[in-house]
Amino acid sequence: MKSLNPRHRHTLSGQVTIALYRITQAIEYLLRDRGKRAQLSPAQIQALLFLKHARSTAHTVSGLAGRLGVTLATTSGVVDALESKQLLRREQMEEDQRVVRLQLTPEGERKAAELEDVLDEVEAAIASLPEDEQAVLKRATQAIVRRLQLAGYVKVYDMCWNCQFFRRDAHPHDPRGPHHCAFIDAPLPEAETYRDCPDFVPAEFEEEVMPGS
């Protein structure tokens, strides 16, 4: 253990830990660099992308705080900054006046779309590996994330297709949606299955389903 100490970095697990640490440094650099050009902080970039892709039920300050992994007070600061740049607005929900929903403005939507490629350099580095190595890497990193998630260090938002609660084509002729979510016990239209969801729980890796497969 103690992989940040070079003297302890002789095990495979220590070397992989340091490699993952360097990847996170690269991701932080890419976010900062893009942020400088877009006049946004890394947290503001992540907030815009979250609001563009997450299920609407998570569009709250606490939903965003979970995604950013920071306190509600810090998240409120991020929201205030984006609101003053007119990239999002706070709206009170009609069904529950106590809940404030965060909504991207048209300019916020445009900005978020522009920023979607911020991790392309990382993806290109992974895509340059042989496919079998990518498959091993995917399984291994998913298992690491799952363990860190269970320990409460990371909150995972993901789309339906690899979720335990997803029932593909459960009612193909239902006008409300052909798929089903067993968590909320409701039909899912196709487009909703591509939203990042806070209630996502991964299915067993070997049973993984991919869109279009």
Q: Report the interface residues with ligand SF4, using CB under 6 A.
A: 160, 163, 165-166, 181, 183-184, 197, 199-200
> Which C-beta is closer to ligand SF4: that of 16 or that of 201?
201
CA distances from 20 to 7, 16, 51, 53, 165 (A): 18, 6, 26, 25, 30
Lookup: tokens for 189: 């239209």
6 Cβ contact list (under 8 Å, min separation 6)? none
CB 161, min distance to ligand SF4, A: 8
> Which C-beta is closer to ligand SF4: that of 142 or that of 183?
183
190 phi/psi in degrees, rounded to 5:
-50, -50
> Which C-beta is closer to ligand SF4: that of 109 or that of 199?
199
- How far apart are alpha carbons 19 and 99 in whole angstroms? 41
> Which C-beta is closer to ligand SF4: that of 23 or that of 156?
156
In a 3-state reduction of DSSP, which class is residue 41?
coil
CB 146, min distance to ligand SF4, A: 15
CB 135, min distance to ligand SF4, A: 23
Lookup: tokens for 127: 């895509």
> Which C-beta is closer to ligand SF4: that of 120 or that of 174?
174
72 and 62 in contact (C-beta within 8 Å)? yes
Rg (CA), the chain: 19
CB 176, min distance to ligand SF4, A: 14
- How far apart are alpha carbons 2 and 10 in whole angstroms? 11
CB 174, min distance to ligand SF4, A: 15
- How far apart are alpha carbons 157 and 47 in whole angstroms? 13
> Which C-beta is closer to ligand SF4: that of 15 or that of 56?
56
CB 168, min distance to ligand SF4, A: 10
Tell which residue, 167, 153, 163, has the closest CA to residue 201: 163
